[in-house]
Amino acid sequence: MSKIGKLPIKIIPGTEVAVEKQTVTIKGPKGTLIWTCAPGIVAEVKDGNILVACQKETKEALSTFGTTRAILANMVKGVNQGWSKKLELVGTGYRAETDGKLLTLTVGFSHPVKVQAPENIAFKVEKMVVTVEGINKETVGQIAADIRSVKPPEPYKGKGIKYVDEIIRRKAGKAAKAAGAV
């Protein structure tokens, strides 16, 4: 049994939680999220908390028990506070512009790269930092990863799109290797 799975999830005031069979619906000030639990996993609302339990102790149920609890906790936080990821553009002439739900990246290609935001996702651009915001942690992370994959940072000069808190391990160039060999 998972130690994380046994922990109760505190329901923040202003949040509505409805459980019907395997489906959990969480409504908050920022929106609504729906999750269907795996077979053998049951969620229930009791005393202002969401409790997750294994109905049958099968291998599949035990392996998704803690994950289900973590996903439900992320949903409660998402509909109340939201999630965000920040990406930084490093490079001369690199820039980003937003036009509603469309993010346009100019990152050294012959053409600008356009990224369309799905529903419940918003882009903000401030100087060289792009912020991806939304209520679903998984979607925010995936969109941020898709933006980063347009031009990942290279190890020699560090140019590209990176997460703000990401550390890029730098390599020595050819000149540094040749000088060390002499």
For 15-60, write each residue's pLDDT tens digit. Answer: 999 999 889 999 999 999 999 998 888 999 999 899 998 888 888 8
Task: Please report which residue ranges of the chain form alpha helices under DSSP H.
Answer: 3-6, 59-80, 137-150, 174-181
Same domain, 93 and 132: yes
Same domain, 36 and 89: no
Number of Cβ within a 10 Å radius of residue 78: 23
Please return the burial class of 120, using the count of CB atoms within 10 Å of its CB with bins 0-12, 13-18 and 19+.
middle
Structure tokens at 142: 């995936």
Looking up residue 138, the CATH number of its domain turns out to be 3.90.930.12
Same domain, 93 and 106: yes
Same domain, 16 and 71: yes
Same domain, 64 and 93: no
Q: How many domains does the chain have?
A: 2
Same domain, 116 and 150: yes
User: At residue 99, what is the residue type?
Assistant: D
- Residue 15 is part of which domain span? 3-80
Boundary-marking domain end, from 55, 80, 105? 80
Structure tokens at 89: 């553009």
Q: Is residue 125 part of a domain?
A: yes
Boundary-marking domain end, from 25, 48, 80? 80
pTM of the model: 0.85
Mean pLDDT of the chain: 91
Q: Is residue 168 part of a domain?
A: no
The per-residue pLDDT for 178 is 66
Please return the burial class of 12, using the count of CB atoms within 10 Å of its CB with bins 0-12, 13-18 and 19+.
middle
For 118-155, write each residue's pLDDT tens digit. Answer: 988 999 999 899 999 999 999 999 999 999 999 999 99
Q: Is residue 114 part of a domain?
A: yes
Q: Is residue 106 part of a domain?
A: yes
Q: Is residue 177 part of a domain?
A: no
User: Length of the chain in residues, anyone?
Assistant: 182
Has residue 182 got a pLDDT over 60?
no
The per-residue pLDDT for 94 is 94
Structure tokens at 121: 């996702």
Q: Is residue 101 part of a domain?
A: yes
Same domain, 93 and 74: no
Has residue 2 got a pLDDT over 80?
no
CA 41 vs. chain centroid, Å, equals 24
Measured CA distances, 123 to 22, 130, 138 (Å)? 33, 7, 16
